[in-house]
Structure 1
């Protein structure tokens, strides 16, 4: 009888341990499941990637497509090709664009500034179409321009087929990009202060105050330092967000793609930005004008050896625990031969962490180096 009880207890313990093991495996799997399809966190000053998950996975950006349109417009404004005060007459085709919109009517006239505000704040698809026609003549012509820009920015995961990011109609191709390319694009776009002024605006008015623009980015006004940048959504794409925030002199960009809900993309973006601000700190390894700790030879020079100095601050963003592991080295130094002008670039200072480049600045000659006289060469 006792032996039967022992056998029964052992069997029960076996099944109990099996049950616990299965739940442990399932819990581990669930921990590895991300609430998005891809994500990235980037520090803007150095471009260092602080967090990454499937960053080159090609996904539909939806309305984050509009970031490229905004960049092209601002480049043309700053080059003098167009002005934010240029007037755009709405075509019949532009008035028929659906999705998020400001309900443009054929024949209405708005400035580029007004239309850009509608795009940046309210994600207006019809405003994108109107601007694309104004600049390139047709949306197709503007899409070609967008793809040219993507190549120039080395956005290898990206292809555009629309100016606004709406889901493709039958027979059309969808826009594709990655979290990495979106961060690169955002880094370039936020150079324009007007863009951040618009994307940080929670509400504004359009059409002489008769239409209220509501910011689609729920981080604005809720996350300290958040001032941009662009949301995107349709069913297949999921919920996307390219977010940026600045605290002190640190600016971060977070991209979340393919989240399950608006709340998820906002929460996950906030988590990434919070992680960056909490764990990573700015460290200046070499101040502008500081000398390197090694001399390099100058052929036929007087002096014949120099210590390069930093032409700009060599800055990194690291965790405190990473700082002792950072190595600074001098790279890309050509064979130096006199004469060399003071301040002439002679290479790069590079900061690496376990083989990854996390910061750089250019190295310059600290003084004028002239050709050594015959006597100096003779007695060396």
Structure 2
């Protein structure tokens, strides 16, 4: 992904973030950085860690490994988690849907560990998955030790990496149905009805905010990765190391105000939009449908004339079967006035296996039948 930067020296002097240790502001679709302060500084992310936890949960849901109505059984270990929790009891069963509410709204450490064990078999293996995903995403300044964000040696990230994780999580439209809730209940029809209130107060008090995740420990101080959408533009803001929750929320608010007053986006494609059909001569299907991996937009400065916007796709060379659904098969480029402003991977929308000998023979015969016999008068 080519990430254009709009954070000029003059803009960086703006007193948007003064008290937090680190911050970044970016537009979700293009990844364009609109403001940053010490955004590559390694710091403890506290419960913002759960953004990666939720990424892996959403991947498991999308792949069919788990379902929202599936019941998850809390182990004794998961139920023993301290800090923020939804007070799971050992052996208690709760649906993935409710576990997600517990994580996204109440920052439940017990729910996070229960989901980690359900997906990976153990917390340790889930942490390996978290770090593997971080490596795949190119997050070189991030390392996880647990899925909760509870204090631990060598557990760190940066504002920049947290923003990139937020972009990844926001690919799943379902997630804001959880992170955007200000309040809800668990165990509704029992005598242990539990009220959830979002730890991210901006969900209630800033128009357009529908996520993502707060964090606090005495070491990390007050942290927040937040997202807001207005007029079809979605932005992500991160602050780390704020001295108080009031400062944290005020600085995020300033970042959002700046973004929405200065920029706008023009959507080109939604996620999974069909952009190309490619012949697969040796596949069990004659062609492969190619789709976008994410929403694709152009970021524009308000008050400036729009340039000529064009897109092109370069397919990978020598694509071999089998191809799995979701495999990256090429790159989509966006140009404004002939200059590349963004690149985004395109994916196969389906599984394509190697064609059998009989399929190849039938295809060859069909092609031959379509070719006119020039020797016959």
TM over 0.5: yes
| 1:350 match: secondary structure | strand
1:333 Cα offset (Å): 8.3
State the distance in 1 between where 2:97 and 2:311 align: 46
Question: Which of structures 1 and 2 has the bigger CA Rg?
Answer: 1
1:350 Cα offset (Å): 3.2
1:281 Cα offset (Å): 2.4
State the distance in 2 between where 1:252 and 1:261 align: 23
The runs of 5 or more residues in structure 1 that have no matched partner are 1-28, 286-310, 335-344, 363-380
Q: Which string of whole-angstrom CA distances, capped at 9 and with x for unpartnered residues, describes residues 232-280 of structure 1? A: 1101101110100101211111111111111111110111011000011
State the distance in 2 between where 1:233 and 1:109 align: 28
Identify the residue that residue 207 of structure 1 maps to in structure 2: 187
State the distance in 1 between where 2:236 and 2:127 align: 25
Q: Among 323, 335, 338, which residue is 1:350 paired with?
A: 335
Identify the residue that residue 128 of structure 2 maps to in structure 1: 144
Identify the residue that residue 167 of structure 2 maps to in structure 1: 187
Identify the residue that residue 178 of structure 2 maps to in structure 1: 198
Do residues 276 (structure 1) and 276 (structure 2) align? Answer: no
Identify the residue that residue 157 of structure 1 maps to in structure 2: 141
Pair 361,197 (structure 1): closer, same or farther in 2 beyond 3 Å: closer
8 Å Cα contact 2:127/2:144 also seen in 1: yes
| 1:67 match: secondary structure | helix
State the distance in 2 between where 1:89 and 1:330 align: 48
| 1:122 match: secondary structure | coil
1:317 Cα offset (Å): 2.1
Do residues 132 (structure 1) and 124 (structure 2) align? Answer: no
8 Å Cα contact 2:333/2:342 also seen in 1: no
8 Å Cα contact 1:350/1:361 also seen in 2: no
The runs of 5 or more residues in structure 2 that have no matched partner are 1-12, 269-291, 316-329, 346-377
1:208 Cα offset (Å): 2.4
State the distance in 2 between where 1:314 and 1:134 align: 33
State the distance in 1 between where 2:186 and 2:311 align: 54
State the distance in 2 between where 1:77 and 1:59 align: 30
In proportion to residue count, which structure has more helix?
A: 1
Aligned residues between the structures: 295
| 1:101 match: secondary structure | coil
1:112 Cα offset (Å): 1.3
Q: Among 296, 299, 310, which residue is 1:317 paired with?
A: 299
1:174 Cα offset (Å): 4.0
State the distance in 2 between where 1:36 and 1:327 align: 39
Comparing 190-199 with 266-275, greater Cα deviation is found at 190-199
State the distance in 1 between where 2:16 and 2:254 align: 16
Scaled by the length of structure 2, the TM-score of the pair is: 0.70
Pair 204,144 (structure 1): closer, same or farther in 2 beyond 3 Å: same
1:94 Cα offset (Å): 1.3
8 Å Cα contact 2:16/2:255 also seen in 1: no
Pair 284,323 (structure 1): closer, same or farther in 2 beyond 3 Å: farther
1:86 Cα offset (Å): 1.5
State the distance in 2 between where 1:248 and 1:33 align: 24
